[in-house]
Structure 1
């Protein structure tokens, strides 16, 4: 199936709700489906109210679970709908409530993502961050993609000299090196939420904000892990008066484990967006304040930058991966979809699958590490990458089997950079939602900065990161005001022409994690939770002096003989270090196209959750 975009006219939420609630009766002989239909019909007839007071017992239970990190994937099964997240299980439960009250997959995904930001104080994700969406609409049997990623700043005339950077050779350097308003970019998260809801949502717009407004007003307890956000960033949060008032206590000290963080300014802003629409942020009152704050720190962003922002709806990028598998993902200017398909092609070209699983075979692990090393080429100018691989390096070429064969030969010969050190002696969140009708929404969203960013600007509770501080080269290749390619990897897997899996990934090692998760499902026949719990390797560490790579794995999960057998230098990373140790996070929901049975799985090293109905 190759969906087109013949008709991209917006569909109002009211029309979508009416159409879904008035038709689509299941076939006879499907009693479970009839029960689901009647429940959804009842929900459609009632006035929806997503306020946590309506599901208070679960709200408290899931809030307590926010303080506990998992050691294995969360799993949930059902037939009427499911939601899974990489972080913040309470947000998933809010999304499930949207499904239970007559919403669809878009309503669930957007409710969840909005609440995730409130539950993390806008540190790793932001309402002014980025969002990418892959959506399967069961009613039309078509896949749609939406890009709400970074726009560069119209007035930025010298992007190569934007201040700042990340110094990965030291813990402090990872938090950024220089303060500047020029490091801000125009984020499309909230514009994307509005566009997705306008086109496909069913619940009233204001409803999907109720859980996030509630948690912003009432607060959430700080966990030991979240306390670490403040430990590394306390001095930066104290620099600006509004940021200090928002994220430090009255005495100027950082929040610690057990404290409750309330965000009244954020609650007021979210209520304004719920009442007035996304124009409040993109050209309205918030836009003026944001531009002023950024300019006060030397930035060049204006209200016009925000007012000009538009999401990009486009056809999906589709790859036939063999054995009946098809992958639908975001096309360029998103960069992650191309890299994801390229990696699957390289897996075939390398003979990786003939060596067994990488947790059992050093030869397979070595090949898998080499395949994912090719992602380093994404950081080079396209013309330089093309010269290294000896051929076309355009997105259209990179998703072909011929390119994979050629690139694999180059990798085996040896790239002139990023080679593995020999073995010596002995930011972001994901949401996937599926409803009872078979609609699938997979999204990734991120602040694309390290915990608020070095500049740490906050405007009426909304955080503004510093994503330009480490992407100067990529920005310099673009016309001012254009869309910056993002590495997000989000998609839907089809098998024999039918959608069977929605997934999303995040973290610095998202490319590596997605590569492994898809192979585990497609080639090794694993369920989504088995695919997540199977030991994974992370993004490698690079020596800043020599460029030599050291691969990283979760501590105690791989057999030592497999690690030693690669001949490559490696490092074992333990759970508390994983977030900054190159970890990738991948979540997914499977759907049996014949029975409608759902199986959702969340991440296995933090406070994630999978929920189903």
Structure 2
């Protein structure tokens, strides 16, 4: 097999530009009660429909955001322009999931040049950060929930730098025009969504009740904002006016940068070391996408420091010789997919990290002989138990925790250009530090809280200027003629990998359209236990799977897969019914 654009060890990203080679019903029941393991899960199920268009399409996690992107495309903007408008709006209307205070991974297909590009806009650790950042006075890792809140967990935000990098090269409309909708909505107010209201009421992130700025915003009169409440954010409107008029650099230098640094260094809880120099020196970087063939489709995702691309593709390559059948979510298919996921996650947890700081053995992970050896561990009717990583490098496994509070949007413009963006501030409402109308991330908790494991250094440990490992998995696929076939991705913490894998298999192996694939009952495996989505028909297989040796848990599983499929000259788009997003096209 061929892994396009994968080197024997990925390291030291070049400053030069790198290019790659050229319905089944879910029978879903009423929303389940809140499941604390998956804090975003209990937000209901929306009625969705498959949207068909001919010219362009945008699918995002909130109707305001989809509309902002649609407006830009209708005005003659391209996919890059629309992406800026979508992210600006998401910062306002979905603050629990993403924002300009966070980071993103961006895949962009330039249809005119027939080239795929990827941009790493992941946050970086401050220059003063050390491997002991999250250790207590006894040298032990602090509890994760204590690591989250406050300034210590804030990485240098990257999403604006990444979008700016893309816009300067490929954007069509002026940068200033891309913020109009977000400015208007910030100033005049937006209707709080049921999802946002529920996340506020849950207060799963304790910081939103502990830190004064965000508490004033989300708890007016000491009561959580309710669904349908008209919420205004004049500070964000002013922030966007500055960024629109002065460019993205105004975020990284000047008044806004000073406000960010002050908020982090003077945080009432766990002050951090983020500095003006950290912001001024931040750069989004081009990375070589990682691509592999699966059943005559070429699928491309993000290379490290995201583990999304490698782990999704490794799972699929392990599965390729197996017949997953024509029936979606059959007992045999669930078993086989979970076994491949076990093996891929074992390698992920040990080896994936920032390639600028540690060699990442991507080529070895996709070697045919290595895959064949790993594949032999998969039995047809028995769970293999805890998978052990292959022996590729002398490093320790990681204990980083990723929560499912992220967003994804997919866009195709009328020129056939496509962009797939997964964007996040990590925990629900990030670090809970709010500055100038937006929340700052807590992405540094995506590092291993302990720098060592089993006496070995962990590749994904905290180091100055390093990017934490991620599970974000934006994907773009191509048919056997090399033409664009799909654009997708999902939020969901480390389960993103499972959600995207299942969606791809749904469309390729089971010939489902994007809505059918997104509506399938979920199952996930991260080399821990087999999770079956609560209140769906898939739970009927629990007894049989348990008899095969699986440790099964029935829980809420909350994806947000947003997909555009290109088929027979049409654009087929769908938003995951578990969230509030919509697909809009023309």
- Structure showing the higher helix proportion among its residues: 1
Does the 8 A contact of 2:559 with 2:576 survive in 1? no
Task: Give the deviation of 1:393 after TM superposition.
Answer: 7.4
Give 1:209 deviation, angstroms.
Answer: 0.7
After superposition, give the CA deviation of every residue in 1:537-574 in whole Å (9 maximum; x if it has no partner): 1457x9xxxxx6252214133261x332212343444x
**Partner in structure 2 of residue 317 of structure 1:** 290
- Equivalent in 333, 346, 363 of residue 364 of structure 1: 333
Equivalent position SS for 1:493 = strand
CA distance in structure 1 between the partners assigned to 2:125 and 2:414 by the alignment: 39
The equivalent residue for 2:559 is 584
Separation in 1 of the partners of 2:164 and 2:307? Answer: 23
Unmatched runs of 5 consecutive residues or more in structure 1: 11-67, 168-172, 385-391, 419-426, 543-547, 574-580
SS of the equivalent of 1:145 reads strand
The CA deviation at 1:443 is 0.7
Asked whether the 8 Å contact 2:93–2:192 carries over to 1, the reply is no
Q: 1:437 aligns with which of 400, 415, 419?
A: 415
Find the residue that maps to 2:82 and give its secondary structure.
Answer: helix
Specify the SS of the correspondent of 2:580: coil
* Distance (whole Å) between structure 2 residues aligned to residue 207 and residue 70 of structure 1: 34
Q: Which residue of 81, 95, 120 corresponds with 1:107?
A: 81
* CA distance in structure 2 between the partners assigned to 1:178 and 1:133 by the alignment: 25
Secondary structure at the residue paired with 2:278? Answer: helix
Change (3 A) 1:478 1:510: same
Q: 1:570 aligned to 520, 544, 552, which one?
A: 552
Match for residue 246 of structure 1 among 192, 201, 217: 217
8 Å contact from structure 2 (residues 351, 360) kept in 1: yes
Shift of 1:77: 1.1
Distance change in 2, residues 1:304/1:513 (3 Å): same
CA distance 1:6–1:262, shift in 2 (3 Å): closer
Q: Please report how far the alpha carbon of residue 484 of structure 1 lies from its aligned counterpart in structure 2 after TM superposition.
A: 2.5
Using the alignment, how far apart are the partners of 1:557 and 1:126 within structure 2?
35
Structure 1 residue 440 displacement after superposition: 0.8
- The corresponding residue for 1:143 is 116
Determine the structure 1 residue equivalent to 2:484: 499
Alpha-carbon separation, structure 2, partners of 1:300 and 1:475: 22
1:131-280 alignment, distance < 5 Å: 131-159=104-132, 161-162=134-135, 179-233=149-203, 236-249=207-220, 251-280=221-250
The structure-2 alpha-carbon separation of the partners of 1:258 and 1:188, relative to structure 1 and needing over 3 Å to count, comes to same
CA deviations over 1:348-367 (Å, ceiling 9, x no partner): 25x2x3455452x3222122
SS at match of 1:299: coil
CA–CA separation in structure 2 for the residues paired with 1:207 and 1:447: 25
Q: Is the 8 A contact 2:236 2:436 kept in 1?
A: yes
Aligned counterpart for 2:57 among listed residues 54, 59, 82: 82
Q: Give the 5 Å matches for 1:284-363.
A: 284-297=254-267, 298-323=271-296, 325-349=297-321, 351=322, 353-357=323-327, 359=329, 361-363=330-332
Q: How many angstroms does 1:270 deviate by?
A: 1.1
On the 8 A contact 2:351/2:459 being kept in 1, the answer is no
Residue 126 of structure 1, CA deviation: 1.9
Is 1:483 the counterpart of 2:452? The answer is no
Query: Within the alignment, does 1:459 sit opposite 2:445 as a pair?
Result: no
**In structure 1, what is the equivalent of residue 366 of structure 2?**
399
Q: Following TM superposition, by how much is the alpha carbon of 1:486 offset from its aligned partner in structure 2, in angstroms?
A: 1.8
Using a 3 Å threshold, how does the CA distance of structure 1 residues 456 and 303 change in structure 2: closer, same or farther? same
Report the counterpart of residue 38 of structure 1 in structure 2: none
8 A contact 2:176–2:244 mirrored in 1: yes
User: Partners in 2 of 1:187 and 1:378 — Cα distance?
Assistant: 28
Using the size of structure 2 for normalisation, the TM-score is: 0.80
Q: Are 1:374 and 2:330 counterparts?
A: no
**CA positional deviation for 1:282:** 0.9
User: 1 CA distance for matches of 2:103 and 2:409?
Assistant: 13
Structure 2 counterpart of 1:128 = 101
CA distance in structure 1 between the partners assigned to 2:484 and 2:433 by the alignment: 41
1:200 offset after TM fit, Å?
Answer: 1.0
Q: How many residues are paired up?
A: 510
Please identify the structure whose Cα radius of gyration is greater.
1
Residue aligned with 1:589, SS: strand
**CA-to-aligned-CA distance 1:356-394 (integer Å, 9 cap, x gap):** 5452x322212222222335425644399xxxxxxx971
1:493-530 deviation digits (Å, cap 9, x = unpaired): 11122111111221132111111111111222222222
Q: Is the 8 A contact 1:119 1:215 kept in 2?
A: no
Deviations along 1:78-130, one digit per CA (max 9) or x if unpaired, are 11101112x2022112211111111111112221122112112x222121111
Following the alignment from structure 2 to structure 1, what is the Cα–Cα distance between the partners of residues 583 and 352?
43
For the residue of structure 1 that corresponds to 2:112, the secondary structure is coil
TM-score by length of 1: 0.76
Structure 2 unaligned regions, length at least 5 = 7-12, 19-42, 354-358, 390-404, 451-457
Question: CA 1:553/1:459 → structure 2, altered by over 3 Å: closer, same or farther?
Answer: same
* Matched position secondary structure for 2:536: coil
Name the CA shift for 1:378/1:152 in 2 (closer, same or farther; >3 Å).
farther
Distance apart, 1:155 and its partner CA: 0.2
Give the Cα separation in 2 of the matches to 1:6 and 1:300: 27
